[in-house]
Amino acid sequence: MWIAGRGQSRESGEHRTLNIRRILAGTALLAALTATVTASAQPRGGRGGGGSPFGNFELLIEPVAEGIYLIRSSASGSITVFESDDSVLLVDSKFEREHDRYMELLRTVTDKPVKYLVNTHIHGDHTGGNIRLEALGPDIIATENARRHLAATQELGLPSITFDDHMRLYFGDHVMDLYWFGRGHTDGDLVMHLPDAGLVLSGDLFAGGDPFVRLIDYNGGGSLMEWSDTLENVLALEFDRVIPGHSEVTDRARMQAYLDQIVQMQDLIREMHSAGRAPEDIQAAITSEFGRMAFVVLPGIQNVIAELE
């Protein structure tokens, strides 16, 4: 794989200290959120389904295109698999407890070694398997912000290659542009664009779900008010299909609808805040209008209000 960088793409540097309890709290809340989603699923025929906005409960692997596969369930973030002539690149690593099962599924489609792992962001349902995968020898790639957060909570399974705004990878027949477009779900969300395939991997900047699911993790540097600008940058790319951080493969129209909902939230919050409404009233109005899981804020809505002041 050839790596070309722009901005300050570089090998990772020294660890930086952050508030460990805050980062762990973010991971715990996301885990609780996905557990709630999982609990709402009613299994059918052993394959899951039912009420979960993230789809099937059982961990499954499915083809996306030639040499591209998606490993997903409603229990945690998805893994996207890219296969070249001699190796495999994975996007995200799910929870550590899922490692054995997703490796078992991976080996049903390829026996090639895992040489590269890309982390879309910091949360444990996307990075929890890093340590066990690192033992297999892959380079781990993430934004510099994501590595900084991870380095505050662990010494193993850290990204060894980071970038600030853009990095281009050549993996097999794929050209992969990795971008950091700004704050949203966290301050280290990575977007992968495959221009020749018309495909975007959004991480939890667009988690998917029906209805939509959204966590604004201020402890992880997230921002509801900046999220819309970040997604506008993503939608400026040329693509037709999207692999969300959770859920099935979808299209750019669905991502546009996700952005439109964020803008509607922002407008309603501004209107109610200008009218002097209490934060708890604003929280109730947003969740009533858009759904409880469409507006999960860590550590609370006051952080959204603070962005307006």
Per-residue pLDDT tens digits for 120-137:
999 999 999 999 999 999
Q: What local confidence, expressed as pLDDT, does residue 48 receive?
A: 31
State the DSSP code for 222: -
Structure confidence at residue 74 (pLDDT): 74
Residues 6+ apart with CB under 8 A from 303: 216, 218, 297
Q: Which of 97, 94, 101 is nearest to 59 (CA)?
A: 101
Distance, in Å, from the CA atom of 49 to the CA atom of 201, rounded to the nearest integer, reads 23
Are the beta carbons of 243 and 200 closer than 8 angstroms?
A: yes
185 within 8 A of 203, measured Cβ to Cβ = yes
Question: What gap in Å lies between CA 308 and CA 277, rounded to an integer?
Answer: 13
Q: What is the pLDDT of residue 58?
A: 86
What is the distance in angstroms between the CA of the first residue and the CA of the last residue of the chain? Answer: 46
**Structural tokens at position 280:** 């708890």
The mean per-residue pLDDT over the stretch 33-51 comes to 33
What is residue 162's three-state secondary structure? strand
pLDDT at 37 over 60: no
pLDDT tens digits, one per residue of 275-285: 999 999 999 99
Q: Say which residue the tokens 């296969």 belong to.
A: 83
Higher-confidence residue: 64 or 75? 64
pLDDT at 50: 38
Question: How much is the pLDDT for 42?
Answer: 27
pTM of the model as a whole: 0.85
pLDDT grade, residue 73 (50/70/90)? confident
Q: What are phi and psi of 193, to 5 degrees?
A: -120, 125
